[in-house]
Amino acid sequence: MNVVVIGTGYVGLTTAVSLAMQGHQVAGIDVDESKIIQLRQGKTPFYEPGLDEALPRVLGTGTLRFTTRLQDAAHEATVVFICVGTPSGADGSADLRFLLNAVDNLLELQEKTPAERVIAVKSTVPVGTTDYVAQQLQSFPELHVVSNPEFLREGSALRDALEPSRIVIGAETDRAFALMEQLYLGISAPRVLTTRANAEMIKYASNAFLATRISFMNELARLCDKLGTDVKTVARGMGLDSRIGPEFLQAGLGYGGSCFPKDTTALLQLAKQHEVSLTILEKVREVNLNQPEWFIRRMRDQLATLSGKRIAVLGLSFKPETDDIREAPSLKVLSLLLAEGADVAAYDPVASPSVQRIFPHVTYADTPYDACNGADAAILVTEWKECTQLDWVQVKERMSAPFLFDGRNAWPAKQLKDIGFSYTGVGRS
């Protein structure tokens, strides 16, 4: 099928590449001309495993191209995906300006080159948004507006696009469902065929529930810390229950990234607009906001003071295998440490340049070992393998004092204690 993807950010580019890999003829559209030039050269604007190799490959086969002009690419398209950003507005609700601008461009396209098309909204939007888009386009009955939310995990996005856990399609006509099924014909995954509003709610509810699991474990870790129990063992015991499962039960420094913080806030704002109180989700957000501060207090208790101490911060991106620092716990950790008067050295395999623009006075090391040179303490913020699979004898030799603070419960606690480190995890006995 001929497919157009409006927006070449994280979701849009991954969607475009994955569809091109499946043999569809895909055009990626973006208003940023410099980004389009970069993409035409086969260079990705962000780090995502597998995408650097896949992009030049599909460019070479001719199944993917990029342009700044919708008119040049979409006149033959059967499916047009809207994958533009929906950032948080000043009040936390989703800012739909980019999406509505894309709709205006599609109106102009349809007036000039009328044809049957599916307009698929893949951007994460408040419930009712896709119905509103359909109303804006209702003068063109040959257009089928659907909601087709994405469930991509940063660090494994390309694999998730090629092998999705489920495909959710919200539409109002049999023809719309049929065209989307034709697009996804080669993908074996459970289908949820429903209304547009249900599809939008599935996306928000999924992210909110995963965020809830994380914050529940982080709050439970605080109690484990007081009781002398081990939240990691507790999580394992919980996860063996088939009704619960092991995913997203890891206590740590909180969630970050482009989805969970933004989507939980947007869902809370949507509920507020409809005079519904989501008290559990409000607490989820509160726990996440103050989790880094709770752990830094644990550091201060161990070290007596952070002022003048050299602290090695290992990992800066919000999770491994991505350079995304949006809402990353590391930003809060760095801010708190600097406010306490600490001398900070940080390491991350890919995200350091982005963080350096925000915190220029932090020392950025080339290796985790260099970050630990002369350190009074080290804190694990992101569980990159480069930060967890270390020669601990060498680390101890390089540090001035043996204090380790495991913000992801990913270091080998017993081994470290046997070597002579003072080890503190999140809610670990």
Pair of tokens at residue 317: 């991106």
pLDDT of residue 147: 98
Could you give the CA distance from residue 212 to residue 233 in angstroms, rounded to a whole number?
A: 19
Q: Look at residues 207, 208, 206 and name the one whose alpha carbon lies nearest to residue 282.
A: 208
Task: DSSP letter for 3, please.
Answer: E
Task: Parse the chain into domains and list their residue ranges.
Answer: 2-193, 207-424
pLDDT of residue 73: 82
Q: Does residue 75 register a pLDDT over 90?
A: no
Which of the residues 83, 259, 372, 387 is marked catalytic? 259
Instruction: Summarize pLDDT for 93-132 with one digit per residue, the tens.
Output: 889 999 999 999 999 999 988 999 999 999 999 999 999 9
Q: What pairing do the DSSP bridges indicate for beta strands 79-82 and 64-67?
A: unpaired
Could you tell me the pLDDT band of residue 74, with boundaries at 50, 70 and 90? confident
Could you give the CA distance from residue 263 to residue 256 in angstroms, rounded to a whole number?
A: 11
Please count the other Cβ atoms lying within 10 Å of the Cβ belonging to residue 417: 13
Instruction: Answer whether 203's CB lies under 8 Å from 130's CB.
Output: no
Q: Does the annotation count 259 as an active-site position?
A: yes
Mention every residue, 6+ apart, whose C-beta is less than 8 A from residue 234: 220, 224
Over residues 257-269, mean pLDDT? 93
Could you tell me the pLDDT band of residue 170, with boundaries at 50, 70 and 90? very high
Containing 419, the helix (H) or strand (E) segment is helix 413-419
Over residues 37-54, mean pLDDT? 95
Annotation: CATH topology of 207-424: Rossmann fold (3.40.50)
| pLDDT above 90: percentage of residues in the chain | 95
Could you tell me the pLDDT band of residue 233, with boundaries at 50, 70 and 90? very high
pLDDT of residue 71: 84
pLDDT of residue 382: 98
Could you give the CA distance from residue 87 to residue 256 in angstroms, rounded to a whole number?
A: 14
pLDDT of residue 76: 83
Helices (H) and strands (E) in the chain, counts: 18, 14
Could you tell me the pLDDT band of residue 429, with boundaries at 50, 70 and 90? confident
Which class for 1: exposed (0-12), middle (13-18), buried (19 or more C-beta within 10 A)? Answer: middle
Task: DSSP letter for 88, please.
Answer: B
pLDDT of residue 211: 97
| Whole-number Cα distances in Å, 195 to 28, 83, 121, 169 | 27, 19, 13, 8
How open is the CA angle 202-155-327, to the nearest 5 degrees? 70
2-193 matches 207-424 in fold? yes
Instruction: Answer whether 31's CB lies under 8 Å from 6's CB.
Output: no
Pair of tokens at residue 232: 């990691």
For the chain, the distance separating the N- and C-terminal CA atoms, rounded to the nearest angstrom, is 56
Could you give the CA distance from residue 121 to residue 115 in angstroms, rounded to a whole number?
A: 18
Instruction: Summarize pLDDT for 353-410 with one digit per residue, the tens.
Output: 999 999 999 999 999 999 999 999 999 999 999 999 999 999 999 999 999 999 999 9
Task: DSSP letter for 152, please.
Answer: P
Could you give the CA distance from residue 399 to residue 374 in angstroms, rounded to a whole number?
A: 5
Mention every residue, 6+ apart, whose C-beta is less than 8 A from residue 105: 6, 70
Could you tell me the pLDDT band of residue 19, with boundaries at 50, 70 and 90? very high
Over residues 5-16, mean pLDDT? 96
Instruction: Summarize pLDDT for 296-316 with one digit per residue, the tens.
Output: 999 999 999 999 999 999 999
Over residues 197-208, mean pLDDT? 97
Which class for 225: exposed (0-12), middle (13-18), buried (19 or more C-beta within 10 A)? Answer: buried
pLDDT of residue 108: 92
Amino acid residing at 263: D
What dotted CATH number matches 2-193? 3.40.50.720
How open is the CA angle 250-253-256, to the nearest 5 degrees? 95
Could you tell me the pLDDT band of residue 88, with boundaries at 50, 70 and 90? confident
